[in-house]
Amino acid sequence: MAYRTATRQLPTPATVDESAWIEVDGLHKLYQPRKSEPTLALSDVSFTVRRGEFISVVGPSGCGKTTLLKILAGLSPKSQGTVRIAGQEVTKPLPQVGMVFQAPTLLPWRTIFDNVMVPAEVQKLDPARHRKRAQELLEMVGLDGFERKYPHELSGGMQQRAGICRALVHDPAVLLMDEPFGALDAMTREYMNVELLRIWRESGQTAVLVTHSIPEAVFLSDRVVVLSPRPGRIAEIISIDLERPRELGVMSSDRAGVYVERIRRHFNAAGVID
């Protein structure tokens, strides 16, 4: 089924630079707990994301990947710097941003269809329009016929697909994903990577993925942002020159392997292997 969302009209000037649809400039994040020493999680992080681009963020455990994503989502305040999406400064969750978490976090008492509809209900969007969109999204990800099932009746991969539908149902301009397939077995994860590329291509969102998997980042992305060990700084931003659409075999190709080794060298040089 061919499907492409018309992302929501954003309350931003017409002059917004689409080459900097997401803009992070001089970002710092300092955690200051009451009973322990402060922790600098991110230090002077700056990068931009083009509209419609797919980027991944990789780095060793504890380097601030998830913290960065939470700041982009407006779920965690920054300590210093500027973060903008479509020209709008991020100081709270924005309606034009969808978030896919590490676990599907579906409500067990609601059907799959009703779970997908949650963002539309919370934002009080037009019910008829968004019920139609929810159905189209479920068909797009292969969950047609499972609308009235409950989360416990679906596999982990199917639940995560429902979570992606929920993140897309209100037509966000940006899709943020925090290690969405980390709990899946290897074969299901590979299948979901292919599905995610198809969903991204057909939906037209700008996507930012946090992942621990270097091959996954290379396979999915236009560019990969490599963070250093804590405090997370930009070690390198690598453009991935692999043709699209991509088949699963690209993961094991020599060309992809060059990018994987280039990224892995950052961790080996720091004495860290993730």
Going by the DSSP 8-state scheme, the letter that residue 248 receives in this structure is G
CATH number at residue 247: 3.40.50.300
Is residue 116 situated within a structural domain? yes
223 within 8 A of 24, measured Cβ to Cβ: no
Stretch 123-141: mean pLDDT, rounded? 89
Is residue 257 situated within a structural domain? yes
Stretch 126-137: mean pLDDT, rounded? 90
Q: What is the pLDDT of residue 2?
A: 39
One domain, residues 243 and 110: no
Instruction: Give the domain-ending residue among 154, 171, 188.
Output: 171
Q: Please give the C-alpha separations between residue 107 and each of 148, 150, 162, 173, 265, in angstroms, as whole numbers.
A: 13, 9, 11, 24, 41
When divided into structural domains, the chain yields a total of 2
Q: What is the pLDDT of residue 34?
A: 79
Tokens of 30: 């300092």
One domain, residues 76 and 190: yes
Rounded to whole angstroms, the Cα distance separating 194 from 223 reads: 17
Predicted confidence (pLDDT) at residue 120 exceeds the cutoff of 60:
yes
Instruction: Give the domain-ending residue among 146, 171, 196.
Output: 171
Q: Where do the DSSP E strands lie in the chain?
A: 22-31, 39-49, 54-58, 80-85, 88-89, 97-100, 174-178, 206-210, 223-227, 234-239
Instruction: Give the domain-ending residue among 128, 146, 171.
Output: 171
Q: Is 252 exposed, middle or buried (0-12, 13-18, 19+ CB in 10 A)?
A: exposed
Rounded to whole angstroms, the Cα distance separating 227 from 263 reads: 10
pLDDT in tens, 65-113: 999 999 999 999 999 999 999 999 999 988 889 888 888 889 999 999 9
Query: Does the pTM of the predicted model rise above 0.75?
Result: yes
One domain, residues 166 and 181: no
What is the band of 24 on the pLDDT scale with cuts at 50, 70, 90? very high
Q: What is the pLDDT of residue 232?
A: 95
* Torsion angle, alpha carbons of 26, 180, 183, 245, to 10: -110
What is the band of 270 on the pLDDT scale with cuts at 50, 70, 90? low
Is residue 2 situated within a structural domain? no
Domain that holds residue 157: 106-171
